[in-house]
Amino acid sequence: MNTGKQGEEIVVQWLIDRGGKILYHRWRWQRGEIDLIAIESDTLLFIEVKTRKRSNWDTDGLLAITPQKQAKILTAAALFLAKHPYLADYPCRFDVAIVRHQPMHQPILGTPLHISTDIAAGVRLLLVDYLVDAFDVT
């Protein structure tokens, strides 16, 4: 499994543990995808997951959520709702999950929200941050 998929899986588990329901994993349209679509507390969540190694250039993926990326996610969400009108009455939220992929021998910095360990591969995945309403939809 690739690192991006592993990062998405740790977020899926964390959301389920909190009572969330995953509707779609990697919902695709012709010009992109939404990593996760879920319902939590009667809110429809469109979640972008960024998985990075500890030493990275883009602040754990935050710099990758450019205005252009946000616009693509908003367009995809509108298309999703057009194809699934029964979900259109839910309030929508756009969140970003930040996951760190690191070797098991490296110390864990801070207090992650969730930890997954792949002993065979010798790595840990840490959900280090979950940004609610990560970007403005107006």
**What CATH number should be reported for the domain holding residue 11?**
3.40.1350.10
Q: Is residue 136 part of a domain?
A: no
Q: Is residue 7 part of a domain?
A: yes
Strand pairing report for 43-53 and 32-40 = antiparallel
**What is the number of domains present in the chain?**
1
Q: Is residue 24 part of a domain?
A: yes
d(CA 30, CA 6): 23
Backbone phi, then psi, for 8, in 5-degree steps?
-65, -40
Residue 51: give the domain boundaries: 3-131
Q: Is residue 12 part of a domain?
A: yes
Q: Is residue 93 part of a domain?
A: yes
How confident is the prediction along the chain (138 residues), in pLDDT tens digits per residue? 587 888 999 999 999 999 999 999 999 888 778 999 999 999 999 999 988 776 665 556 556 677 888 888 889 999 999 999 999 999 999 999 999 888 899 888 889 999 998 888 888 999 998 999 987 766
